[in-house]
């Protein structure tokens, strides 16, 4: 990691600065700037936050930058450190530090954009209201109906997606972000097709591309679909993480 910071600190600082400026501009553009504009409510932060998560996904998708070229791959693979150290170093930089910085930058940008918008609106008598941002807004949105299982399900869905992006990057050499997006779309499509196929096999009355999943309560307040989705999201990162590690260990030129 010391090696990585020594060589790439300028790149990381530029990325942070770029993310900060872009996030600020993006948030500011969503906020009301005229007297006739509608109010900006807390819910709108959730949509923007969700969209910004794609930016974090792209940052994670650009992990292991050495694999973009053959020359860099040689240097990286022959660097005297274990595959575990190389994997953990990228994991800590891209996923852990990336996520912490993402939250921090979003929080600062949201407050800064609100302050800028309020400053621009100060001259109007009936200026639209702009809600203040705090992470409780996000928390309230994922903690729906006091369903703690689904709340963690949503969190682990994001974790699993992040780990999938991180690990699948090792499989791709050129244009990893594009290929990761294609692979996610393909994965969702194949899963949907498989579910439709199962629907046709077990429920012959299923018509066309429809999905038949009879819902029933497995435990108090939780349906079989919820349990299935949560087990998928809770566990898939545990599969993707070692998959990435072993792919790195077995990586060839």
User: Which positions touch another protein (CB under 8 A)?
Assistant: 2-3, 6-8, 10, 69-72, 74-75, 77-83, 85, 249-250, 252-253
Helix (H, G, I), strand (E, B) or coil at 89: helix
Gyration radius of the chain's alpha carbons = 22
**CB 72 to another protein: min, Å:** 6
222 DSSP β-pair partners: 219
**19 contacts 107 by C-beta, under 8 angstroms:** no
**CB 13 to another protein: min, Å:** 13
Distance CA 89, CA 51 (A): 27
Q: Which residue lies nearer to another protein by CB, 4 or 147? A: 4
Q: Which residue lies nearer to another protein by CB, 2 or 126? A: 2
Q: Which residue lies nearer to another protein by CB, 10 or 174? A: 10
Q: Which residue lies nearer to another protein by CB, 80 or 214? A: 80
**CB 12 to another protein: min, Å:** 12
Number of H helices, E strands in the chain: 9, 2
**CB 69 to another protein: min, Å:** 6
Residues 6+ apart with CB under 8 A from 136: none
Q: Which residue lies nearer to another protein by CB, 111 or 247? A: 247
Q: How many CB atoms lie within 10 A of CB 112?
A: 15
**CB 82 to another protein: min, Å:** 5
**CB 170 to another protein: min, Å:** 14
Q: Which residue lies nearer to another protein by CB, 69 or 221? A: 69
**CB 117 to another protein: min, Å:** 37
Within the chain, residue ranges assigned H as helices are 2-30, 42-61, 70-77, 83-90, 98-121, 135-142, 148-168, 176-202, 224-249
Closest by CA position to 231, among listed 117, 143, 150: 150
Q: Residue-wise over 167-181: b if at least 16 C-beta within 10 A, else e?
A: bbbbebeeebbebbb
**93 contacts 1 by C-beta, under 8 angstroms:** yes
Q: Checking DSSP bridges between strand 222-223 and strand 217-219, what pairing results, if any?
A: antiparallel
Q: Which residue lies nearer to another protein by CB, 39 or 85? A: 85
């Amino acid at each position: 990691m010391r090696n990585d910071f020594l060589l790439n600190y300028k790149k990381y600082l530029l990325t942070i600065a770029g993310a900060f400026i872009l996030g600020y501009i993006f948030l500011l553009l969503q906020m009301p700037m005229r007297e006739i504009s509608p109010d900006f409510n807390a819910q709108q932060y959730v949509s923007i936050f969700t969209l910004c998560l794609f930016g974090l996904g792209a940052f994670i998708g650009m992990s292991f930058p050495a694999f973009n070229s053959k020359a860099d791959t040689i240097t990286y693979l022959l660097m005297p450190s274990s595959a575990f150290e190389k994997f953990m170093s990228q994991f800590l930089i891209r996923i852990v530090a990336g996520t912490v910085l993402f939250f921090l930058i979003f929080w600062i940008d949201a407050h800064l954009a609100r302050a800028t918008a309020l400053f621009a609106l100060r001259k109007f008598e009936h200026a639209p209201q702009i809600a203040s941002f705090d992470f409780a807004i996000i928390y309230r949105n994922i903690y729906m109906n006091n369903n703690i299982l689904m709340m963690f399900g949503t969190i682990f869905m994001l974790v699993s997606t992040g780990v999938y992006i991180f690990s699948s990057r090792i499989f791709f050499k050129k244009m990893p972000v594009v290929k990761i997006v294609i692979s996610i779309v393909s994965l969702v499509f194949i899963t949907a097709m498989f579910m439709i196929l199962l629907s046709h096999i077990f429920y012959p009355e299923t018509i066309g591309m429809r999905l038949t999943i009879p819902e029933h309560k497995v435990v108090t307040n939780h349906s079989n679909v919820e349990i299935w989705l949560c087990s998928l999201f809770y566990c898939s990162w545990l599969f993707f993480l070692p998959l990435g590690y072993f792919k790195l260990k077995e990586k060839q030129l």
